[in-house]
Structure 1
């Protein structure tokens, strides 16, 4: 049964890193990739070649033209003008690679930047495990497209060491059950994703408890944010209570003040000092003060 792979998407100048992978697979499926990798001409025929040898030699020579046709038809007319002067598929392939991926020096700098970006990745509290793993793999794939080797075990280690605290119990249970240095990224992500789904289901079943927890957290944070206001409010309440304590008696009929009872008023007409027997209170009596001295 013959196999005819579908042609790749036409490259128009965008997403070269995707097109180049698809085009390479397409050429390999047609057994034409060797013509792109090397510019070496097929070995010339010997004297008195056989019919099979002539046929094989013709097929080897035709590979270059077939590969060139695939490349020319796999790009838009604007991109075709940049490779139309190329004499071989390898020359056309290298021209596109240099233009859309840069020189070797540029690619090395891109790899350095992508590796730095990979090292700085850390999962946010608002992210899901799927979103985080997809972001990591996008960076890793860009590094690999630039020709750099990147081991899967390093990606797994990065995910494990940058997870939030809510996944700590799951990582501990996985570490007890198996060797995390040999676990696949898809297996790790699926286990953590299942944990996220269970927690989301419990929150949906008990939304009131989750709402109360969020309300308590919001209230405590609001208290911390409004602490100066609360202090002013408490001070005003204390002053009001103190003023209320001062005015807890009815107005005195002698002095009209509200901070004492009538029998303790110093200005009542029948008051008599116990020390000198005159009409004033003993606390302001000069004779009383001299006697104490």
Structure 2
């Protein structure tokens, strides 16, 4: 940034008022000018215009001023705000307007290049869409930047056109808000700033609802997990009860839990080992081997009686 109060090797014309020059230089001591680069012409021209209007020098750029001193002061401001390699070329210009137009042509090009730039920018505006995760404010800044570039090239885009473009491109989560705006507001007279403000309010409310919904869903998942753990504890308790019955009826090996399963007829079938024979599937009291041995003993006891 270059301060206006810096010295400049340009002489004020003879017809200029020294008091006016001193007043302009004094008032401009706190004003800083942007430095022109290869990529910031649009922003540079806007800030320069505002600065020169504040110091009452802009009319010398819009039309050749008859006041030689005023024209030289306007030219001095332009020269201070350009790169070193451009200063000599602009210093020999006949007027501030001629110097300004030269800078503009260097960056905006001739009419054919200007038309091509307009078409390119218009296509970018038409093809604009919300990026993933982009909010309304960021999208509006992007489209406003393109609109400002078009205006600098002399192509005016009405606010209503920009408003309708934004309304067409909003994410699905805000479609209901768009319908309400189209029904209740006059979009032909609405400013883009007003539209962005309304959409941002709705976007913030939607973000709060999503946060609350996520918290509620997380609570539901936690509750389901607690219910599942309670059911698992209940199931383990039932299996422990079945195992206790098996031990009371005849016992089983320590490495088996003694639980039982339901058979096809609805009866409980023991899955542990028999304490008597070591086979699985029955308790000691129902052991087939034990019953067979008892039957043999009975036969042996009865034979002497028969004799």
- Relative to 1, partners in 2 of residues 1:93 and 1:197: Cα closer, same or farther, differing over 3 Å? same
Mapped pair 1:63 → 2:66: no
Query: Alpha carbon RMSD of aligned pairs, Å?
Result: 2.6
Are the counterparts in 1 of residues 159 and 190 from structure 2 also a CA contact under 8 Å? Answer: no
Alignment CA distance shift 1:161-1:14 (3 Å)? closer
Kindly state the Cα deviation for residue 209 of structure 1 after the two structures are TM-superposed. 5.2
TM-score (norm 1): 0.60
1:193 aligns with 2:218: no
Equivalent residues in 2 for 1:240-259 (5 A)? Answer: none
Match of 2:27 in 1: 4
2:166 maps to: 159
Are 2:90 and 2:99, in contact at CA under 8 Å, matched by a contact in 1? yes
Q: Once the 2 structures are TM-superposed, how far is the Cα of residue 75 of structure 1 from its aligned partner?
A: 2.0
> Of 170, 176, 181, which aligns to 2:183?
176
- 1:144 matched to 2:165: no
- Larger displacement relative to structure 2 (141-150 or 171-180): 171-180
Instruction: Provide closer, same or farther for how the CA distance between residues 39 and 189 of structure 1 changes in structure 2, counting only shifts above 3 A.
Output: closer
Label 1:211 to 1:100 Cα distance change in 2 as closer, same or farther (>3 A). farther
The question of whether the paired residues in 1 share the 8 Å contact of 2:34 and 2:81 is answered with yes
1:30 to 2:37 alignment: no
Change (3 A) 1:14 1:117: closer
Deviations 1:249-287 (A, max 9, x none): xxxxxxxxxxxxxxxxxxxxxxxxxxxxxxxxxxxxxxx
Once the two structures are TM-superposed, the CA of residue 120 in structure 1 deviates from its matched residue by 1.1
How many aligned positions are there? 195
In structure 1, runs of 5+ residues without a counterpart are: 43-59, 213-293
Cα deviation for residue 202 of structure 1 reads 2.3
Aligned to 1:80: 87
43, 59, 72: which is aligned to 1:18?
43
Q: Which runs of 5+ in 2 are unaligned?
A: 1-23, 220-307
The offset of 1:84, in angstroms, is: 3.0
1:85 to 1:210, Cα distance in 2 relative to 1, 3 A: farther
Distance 1:208 1:37 in 2: 60
CA contact (8 A) 2:35 2:81 kept: yes
> What does residue 278 of structure 2 align with?
none
